[in-house]
Amino acid sequence: MIQGTFYIISAPSGAGKSLLLQRLLKEQLLRDIKLSISYTTRSIRPNETDGKDYFFVSKHTFKNMIAEDAFLEYAKVFGNYYGTSRESVKEILSSGIDVFLDIDWQGAKQIRTQFLLTCSIFVLPPSIQELARRLNRRAQDTEQVITQRMKQAIIEITHYSEYDYLIINDDLESALTDLKTIIYAQRLRVHNQKVRHNTLISKLLVV
Amino acid sequence: MIQGTFYIISAPSGAGKSLLLQRLLKEQLLRDIKLSISYTTRSIRPNETDGKDYFFVSKHTFKNMIAEDAFLEYAKVFGNYYGTSRESVKEILSSGIDVFLDIDWQGAKQIRTQFLLTCSIFVLPPSIQELARRLNRRAQDTEQVITQRMKQAIIEITHYSEYDYLIINDDLESALTDLKTIIYAQRLRVHNQKVRHNTLISKLLVV
């Protein structure tokens, strides 16, 4: 049985990662990719759907899940918990579907210690000006909030070299091509091809 | 300065590797790829060119080169020596050009111990029937020669899983697409992108 590939994707806020993932999931030829849905204890927002954007659970449930070692990784951000369910990722992978996990460098680090065959991708904006522009565009935030967000982005960027691949998101279409190239190449990796062409290989070897 | 990538490609005889490489080298978008030319002590054949097919040298010269540690790898096959020059590979790589080395599993093994960042690719025929057909087609060989060649092919195949990537050469066009996908993905590897986008990354990090 083919195992899906476990992709980890990280980026500083403002690099355009979410739009890139949205586009990837719409690709007709890549139906066998799913985005991992995290568990969270924060309140659901009006435009969100439970089970699509997040699994919204109570703090009590989340803490029970921690106690049961149900998370591949979890973190507490501004008083709310966020976590990736071990069971749901394994279930998707074992049905031969690739999982994309959209996560920060700390989560990525936790995942890499548990899964040997992850494929991790970092996305960067094309320039510091563009990064600042994208972070400013977001809302009517105070300068302080924007500066804080910029600092956070830079911290994330310092970890880019811990990843397998680096995509510069200058133009969305070409970043999407890059991402698809990485996925197609990953499928040609010997450990994936070995399972896919198992019958052929055994026939070639018993001659 | 960007370093080229050191590609190693192996296949059993009859997998169609040579044709695949010929086609790759004709690709307009991949001008920055060269095939490594081996040194050999065997006699030049009428259709061959010195410095294009091989560098043809005397046994004396070859042995001197061995003594000077001039080879990344070398082997003696049917009384003739074949070897890959350390200097010429390094020269191509340091000018930012990718090198393809067409070599058997033993040579590949020798190379991997010396270069950490190689990318190795194995090519398989689509079926045992097709392999036999391709080996038979070659010439007016005796059955004994064909059987011997088939045995050699199977030995080579047993080493496929030592490679990073596996291509099944069923259809030449799709095998070429696979090969190009691997090359493009390799260029997105973080250690390659790091050098290519050095200026951008340093600007993002000093903010």
Q: What would the pLDDT profile of A18-28 be if each residue is shown by its tens digit?
A: 999 999 999 87
Task: Give A33→chain B minimum CA distance, Å.
Answer: 18
Cβ atoms A156, A15 nearer than 8 A:
no
In whole angstroms, give the CA distance from residue B122 to residue B161.
Answer: 8
Whether residue B56 lies inside any domain: the answer is no
Tokens of B166: 């596996």
Chain B residue with CA closest to A163: the answer is: B190
| pLDDT number for residue A139 | 61
| pLDDT number for residue B123 | 98
| pLDDT number for residue A188 | 97
What's the total number of domains in chain A?
A: 1
Cβ atoms B20, B123 nearer than 8 A:
yes
Contacts of B190 in chain A (CB under 8 A): 122, 160-161, 163-166
Contacts of B166 in chain A (CB under 8 A): 188-190, 193-194, 197
Residues of B contacting chain A (CB within 8 angstroms)? 122, 124-128, 131, 150, 154, 157-158, 160-161, 163-168, 178, 181-182, 184-186, 188-190, 193-194, 197, 200-201, 203-205, 207
Other beta carbons less than 10 A from residue A170's beta carbon: 14
In whole angstroms, give the CA distance from residue B12 to residue B193.
Answer: 33
Full strand arrangement of the beta sheet holding A55-56: A55-56, A39-40, A80-85, A71-77
Task: Give A53→chain B minimum CA distance, Å.
Answer: 29
Whether residue B82 lies inside any domain: the answer is no
Residues in Cβ contact with A207 at an 8 Å cutoff, skipping those fewer than 6 apart:
B128, B150, B154
Q: Is residue B138 pLDDT above 80, yes or no? A: no
Residues in Cβ contact with A160 at an 8 Å cutoff, skipping those fewer than 6 apart:
A122, A124, A166, B190, B201
| pLDDT number for residue B146 | 82
What is the span of the domain harbouring residue B108?
6-36+97-205
Q: How confident is the model at residue B75 (pLDDT cuts 50, 70, 90)?
A: very high
- pLDDT, averaged per 10 consecutive residues of chain A (207 residues), comes to 91 92 89 92 94 95 97 91 95 94 94 91 93 77 82 93 97 97 97 94 85
| pLDDT number for residue A17 | 94
Whether residue B153 lies inside any domain: the answer is yes
| pLDDT number for residue A142 | 80
Whether residue B51 lies inside any domain: the answer is no
Q: Which one-letter amino acid corresponds to residue A89?
A: V
Q: How many CB pairs under 8 A join A and B?
A: 104
Residues in Cβ contact with B162 at an 8 Å cutoff, skipping those fewer than 6 apart:
B105, B108, B109, B120
Contacts of A190 in chain B (CB under 8 A): 122, 160-161, 163-166
Cβ contact (<8 Å) for A188 and B203? Answer: no
Whether residue A201 lies inside any domain: the answer is yes
Contacts of B129 in chain A (CB under 8 A): none
Whether residue B70 lies inside any domain: the answer is no
* Kind of pairing between the strands at B6-10 and B98-102: parallel
User: In this structure, what CATH number is given to the domain that contains residue A187?
Assistant: 3.40.50.300
Whether residue B11 lies inside any domain: the answer is yes
- Closest by CA to A36, choosing from A69, A74, A66, is A74
Other beta carbons less than 10 A from residue B43's beta carbon: 8
Tokens of B159: 């080493």
Q: Tell me which residue in B161, B186, B190 faces A161 most closely, judged by beta carbons.
A: B190
| pLDDT number for residue A111 | 94
Whether residue A68 lies inside any domain: the answer is no
Cβ contact (<8 Å) for A189 and B165? Answer: yes
3-state class (DSSP) for residue B50: strand
**High-pLDDT (> 70) share of chain B, %:** 98
Return the DSSP state at B162. G
